[in-house]
């Protein structure tokens, strides 16, 4: 009997020690940190900082998509890269941080190549320009390389249209520059002054001609200035020469007979009268 009691006491002590070794509320195993939102371009989601770093995937990383834009203002199909396939050039209203954001003058040009690939160029319009107005004037080869280029307006004065050119240089869509600054030429005018733009080729040199006339000096004459710009590359102009002349008229305040020459725009098939 005594032996049986000793055995019972030993069993009770053994069970008590096992119960003490097991915690009453076992801790839950740690769960993975929550996954945060992915980037805007739709790539792989990013992990929170407390989660382990993911193993790099052997697949190609997603590329950024087109820039967010507003209203599409205009589009044109032409061969901007000279590969014989039609490309699509689109213009969007795209206000952005910068000089004229508050008046929504920002524009974005997007070129989708027929061979594949998209290039974009943001550019500024003039302050208080209509954000819904199309900047595209027309399509023509302005630099003589055989490819199509875009003639665009970057603003309007009281009587003139402020004009520039967009060209694809084989890698990027660029606004034409001179002396490190985007070029702006004017055409149009009033009964007392005029501006004109002409694209021409002479002696194998493609030129941009900018003319200006005014009758401020005399009621019977117009003072004319002609600037000739040559292309140093697909997207760069240099001022080649400047000449001055006088146009005499026999009737007070009469305008020169060739008004398109001094008030118009002429580039390839794009011809706008003065």
Selection from 110, 134, 133, 135 nearest residue 121 by Cα: 110
Alpha carbon 98 to its chain centroid, in Å, reads 14
Could you tell me the two tokens for 183? 């070029």
d(CA 150, CA 241): 25
d(CA 195, CA 252): 20
Would you kindly state where each structural domain of the chain is located, as residue ranges?
Answer: 72-272
Burial class (CB in 10 A: 0-12, 13-18, 19+), 150: buried
In this prediction, residue 103 has a pLDDT band, given cuts at 50, 70 and 90, of low
Burial class (CB in 10 A: 0-12, 13-18, 19+), 159: middle
Burial class (CB in 10 A: 0-12, 13-18, 19+), 223: middle
Is it the case that residue 245 has pLDDT exceeding 60?
Answer: yes
Selection from 145, 140, 272 nearest residue 206 by Cα: 145
Place of tokens 């969007």: 92
Q: Tens digits of per-residue pLDDT, 105-142?
A: 688 999 999 999 999 999 887 666 677 789 999 999 99
Name the pairing type of β-strands 106-112 and 72-78. Answer: unpaired
Give the best-scoring range by mean pLDDT among 4-8, 152-156, 192-196.
192-196
Report, as an integer, the average pLDDT of 74-93. 96
d(CA 229, CA 47): 55
Kindly report the pTM of this predicted structure: 0.73
5-9, 57-61, 84-88, 207-211: lowest mean pLDDT where? Answer: 57-61
pLDDT value of position 169: 95
Is it the case that residue 5 has pLDDT exceeding 60?
Answer: no
Q: Which residue has the higher pLDDT, 41 or 18?
A: 18
Tell me the β-bridge partners of 195: 188, 212
Is it the case that residue 1 has pLDDT exceeding 60?
Answer: no
d(CA 27, CA 205): 83
d(CA 30, CA 22): 19
How many other C-beta atoms are found inside a 10 Å radius of the C-beta of residue 130?
A: 13
Q: Tens digits of per-residue pLDDT, 224-243?
A: 999 999 999 999 999 999 99
């Amino acid at each position: 009997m005594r032996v049986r009691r000793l055995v019972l006491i030993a069993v009770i002590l053994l069970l008590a020690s096992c119960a003490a070794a097991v915690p009453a509320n076992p801790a839950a195993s740690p769960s993975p940190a929550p996954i945060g939102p992915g980037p805007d371009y739709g790539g792989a989601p990013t992990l929170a900082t407390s989660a382990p770093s993911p193993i790099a995937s052997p697949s190609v990383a997603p590329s950024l998509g087109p820039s967010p834009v507003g209203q599409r203002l205009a589009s044109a199909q032409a061969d901007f890269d000279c590969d014989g396939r039609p490309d699509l050039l689109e213009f969007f209203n795209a206000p952005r941080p910068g000089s004229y954001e508050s008046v929504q003058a920002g524009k974005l040009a997007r070129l989708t190549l027929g061979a594949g690939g998209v290039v974009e160029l943001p550019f500024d319009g003039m302050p208080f320009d209509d954000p819904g107005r199309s900047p595209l004037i027309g399509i023509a080869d302005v630099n003589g390389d055989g490819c199509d280029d875009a003639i665009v307006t970057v603003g309007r004065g009281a009587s003139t249209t402020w004009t520039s050119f967009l060209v694809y240089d084989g890698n990027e869509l660029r606004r034409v520059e001179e002396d490190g600054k985007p070029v702006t030429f004017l055409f149009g005018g009033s009964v007392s002054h005029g501006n004109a733009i002409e694209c021409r080729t002479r002696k194998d040199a493609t030129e941009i001609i900018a003319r200006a006339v005014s009758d401020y000096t005399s009621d019977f004459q117009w003072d004319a200035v002609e600037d000739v710009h040559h292309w140093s590359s697909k997207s760069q102009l240099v001022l080649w020469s400047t000449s001055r002349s006088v146009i005499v008229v026999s009737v007070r305040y009469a305008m020169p007979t060739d008004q398109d020459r001094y008030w118009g725009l002429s580039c390839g098939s794009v011809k706008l009268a003065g």
